[in-house]
């Protein structure tokens, strides 16, 4: 079924359920997992400004890898930098480059007005992806970590 799963994680608490779901799917199917964390930045008139420091980005990735490996899942991962407007295409491109057959990420629920002004990354990825996309729920039942 699934042999290569790309899981996209961010700093939100929803990453715990995303990592848990990726681990569960990998164990069920024997898949390898690649964890991707996109460290966001924004462009101003004068410069590109990072919205997350390198240590925080590495910590998010390391946490995901440790949890997956501790669960017996073969996992690798990377942090990439991208503008906030390019996060969805960065995730989709990484999935294609790694030849993933499943992509797991969090939907980050928002109000309809906010979603209209600032579309969700998960919506953009799901609508443009050429592989299966699984949106993990915000929280694991009974387990936050």
Tens-digit pLDDT profile for residues 104-131: 998 754 444 444 445 576 666 666 777 8
Q: How far apart are CA 105 and CA 90, in angstroms?
A: 13
Q: Say what the pTM is.
A: 0.83
Q: 16 is written with which tokens?
A: 């715990």
Residue 98 burial class via C-beta count within 10 angstroms: exposed 0-12, middle 13-18, buried 19 and up: middle
Q: What is the CATH number of domain 8-133?
A: 3.40.50.620
Q: 123 is written with which tokens?
A: 């919506």
Give the domain ranges of the chain.
8-133
| Nearest Cα to Cα of residue 92 among 38, 46, 54, 23 | 38
Question: Contact at 8 Å (CB) between 72 and 61?
Answer: no
């Amino acid at each position: 079924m699934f042999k290569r799963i790309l899981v996209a994680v961010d700093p939100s608490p929803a990453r715990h359920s995303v990592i848990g779901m990726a681990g569960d799917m990998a164990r069920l199917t024997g898949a390898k997992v690649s964890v991707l964390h996109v460290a966001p930045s924004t462009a101003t008139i004068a410069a590109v400004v990072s919205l997350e420091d390198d240590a925080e980005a590495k910590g998010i990735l390391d946490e995901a890898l440790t949890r997956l490996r501790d669960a017996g899942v073969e996992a690798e991962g990377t942090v990439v930098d991208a503008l906030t407007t390019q996060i969805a295409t960065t995730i989709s491109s990484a999935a294609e480059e790694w030849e993933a057959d499943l992509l797991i990420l969090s939907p980050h629920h928002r109000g309809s007005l906010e979603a209209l002004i600032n579309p969700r990354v998960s919506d953009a990825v799901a609508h443009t992806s050429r592989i299966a996309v699984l949106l993990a729920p915000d929280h694991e039942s009974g387990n936050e970590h």
